[in-house]
Amino acid sequence: KNEVEQSPQNLTAQEGEFITINCSYSVGISALHWLQQHPGGGIVSLFMLSSGKKKHGRLIATINIQEKHSSLHITASHPRDSAVYICAALSYSGGGADGLTFGKGTHLIIQP
């Protein structure tokens, strides 16, 4: 079973700071998913990536398949970015799903 580790577990930063959240996994994957969970509990899919980099607004996600590592960056952070960020690793075997393993999440607080 894939082991997915996120760091840091908790992060408090000031508005405007550049934020990096890391995700490492133990077994090769076909794709990695970044999710955002708002303080109210709602979950939003941010990125699904299998190589390289993706950008959406102030959010950037990168993945290094060889190093089994992904990062989520937030530029010019804002209090509304305060949320829990969760990464999930997708493994495949023979075309079906071996499983979807989630990290425990990074609790981000951006102070004004």
Partner 1 sequence: DAGVIQSPRHEVTEMGQEVTLRCKPISGHNSLFWYRQTMMRGLELLIYFNNNVPIDDSGMPEDRFSAKMPNASFSTLKIQPSEPRDSAVYFCASSLAPHQIANEQFFGPGTRLTVL
Binding site for partner 1 (CB under 8 A): 30-31, 33, 35, 41-45, 48, 50, 86, 88, 90, 92, 95-97, 99-100, 102-105
**Nearest to partner 1 of 44, 76 (CB atom):** 44
Identify which of residues 21 and 77 has a Cβ nearer to partner 1 in the complex.
21
Q: Which residues contact 29 (CB under 8 A, 6 or more apart)?
A: 2, 65, 68, 89, 90, 91, 92
Of 76, 48, 71, residue with least CA distance to 60: 71
Task: Identify which of residues 77 and 105 has a Cβ nearer to partner 1 in the complex.
Answer: 105
- Closest by CA position to 109, among listed 71, 77, 62: 77
Minimal distance, residue 10 CB to partner 1, in Å? 14
Smallest distance from partner 1 to CB 73, Å: 19
